[in-house]
Amino acid sequence: MTDTTTTEVQTTQGSGRVGGTTFETLAISAFIFGIFAIVAAVFAIGMSARAVEVANGGGGGSKATTGGGGGGAAEVQVKATEFAFDPKDIKVAENGKIILDNAGAVQHDFQVEGLTMDMVDPGKTGELVLTGLAPGEYTFICTVPGHEAAGMKGTITVG
Ligand SMILES: [Cu+2]
């Protein structure tokens, strides 16, 4: 008899305690889970944003079937000074555009495989679209007499 009563009381107290603990544990768990969910969501958004950046940056425009490794940009900026191009090794997509920034003190231009840009005045920029130039590696120069010999030449890879 006495044992039974004690057992019942203990059981009741036990269940009460267990119930309370369970509720608190659930509440805390839910709270922690909520924080983790927010952190995970923010992290996931960050990761997907980065993935998009990587996808945009790594692709390098439309993949040329004839191309090969990566492909150049659709537009490439080149700086001309006396007497050099910067950069002197450039890579451009097929039918891409060269934008020449004349940062020098005299006129310069840009010629590759018979395609020639109009002469660019100092402080101005010129454009040359490489229409029909097949993928490959070519030498480009400045056609002003003496400039190529003085160093105004470089290598352009199309594709
Ligand atoms: Cu020049």
CATH number for position 148: 2.60.40.420
- Asked if residue 93 is part of any domain, the answer here is yes
CA of 101 to the centre of ligand 1 (A): 11
CA of 83 to the centre of ligand 1 (A): 6
- Tokens for 93, please give them: 């997509």
- Asked if residue 97 is part of any domain, the answer here is yes
Output 133 or 61, whichever has higher pLDDT. 133
- Asked if residue 64 is part of any domain, the answer here is no
- Asked if residue 91 is part of any domain, the answer here is yes
φ, ψ of residue 88 to 5 degrees: the values are: -100, -10
For residue 35, the model assigns a pLDDT of 38
Domain residues for 125?
73-158
CA of 55 to the centre of ligand 1 (A): 37
pLDDT at residue 117 is higher than 90:
yes
Q: Return residues with CB closer than 5 A to ligand 1 (ion).
A: 108, 142, 144, 147, 152
**Dihedral of alpha carbons 130, 132, 137, 140, sign:** negative
**Residues 53, 98: one domain?**
no
CA of 99 to the centre of ligand 1 (A): 14
3-state secondary structure of 158: strand
**Residues 91, 132: one domain?**
yes
Residue finishing a domain among 30, 59, 88: 59
Alpha-carbon span 36 to 47, nearest angstrom? 16
**Residues 150, 81: one domain?**
yes
- Asked if residue 66 is part of any domain, the answer here is no
3-state secondary structure of 109: coil
pLDDT tens readout for residues 21-58: 565 654 545 544 543 453 454 445 444 444 443 333 33
For residue 145, the model assigns a pLDDT of 98
Output 71 or 115, whichever has higher pLDDT. 115
Output 21 or 103, whichever has higher pLDDT. 103
- Asked if residue 105 is part of any domain, the answer here is yes
For residue 70, the model assigns a pLDDT of 63
**Residues 152, 90: one domain?**
yes
**Residues 77, 117: one domain?**
yes
- Mean pLDDT rounded to a whole number for the chain: 75
- Asked if residue 67 is part of any domain, the answer here is no
**Residues 52, 77: one domain?**
no
Overall domain count for the chain: 2
CA of 151 to the centre of ligand 1 (A): 9
CA of 71 to the centre of ligand 1 (A): 27
CA of 42 to the centre of ligand 1 (A): 52
**Residues 112, 147: one domain?**
yes
Q: Which of 158, 147, 156, 149 is nearest to 61 (CA)?
A: 158
pLDDT at residue 16 is higher than 50:
no
CA of 81 to the centre of ligand 1 (A): 7
**Residues 115, 90: one domain?**
yes
Alpha-carbon span 134 to 9, nearest angstrom? 92
CA of 124 to the centre of ligand 1 (A): 13
CA of 152 to the centre of ligand 1 (A): 6
Output 65 or 93, whichever has higher pLDDT. 93
**Residues 49, 111: one domain?**
no
Overall average pLDDT of the 110-116 stretch: 97
Write out the E strands in the chain: 73-81, 84-86, 89-102, 111-112, 115-116, 125-129, 136-141, 153-158
For residue 71, the model assigns a pLDDT of 82
- 64 Cβ contact list (under 8 Å, min separation 6): 71, 93, 94, 135, 159
Share of the chain above pLDDT 90, in %: 55
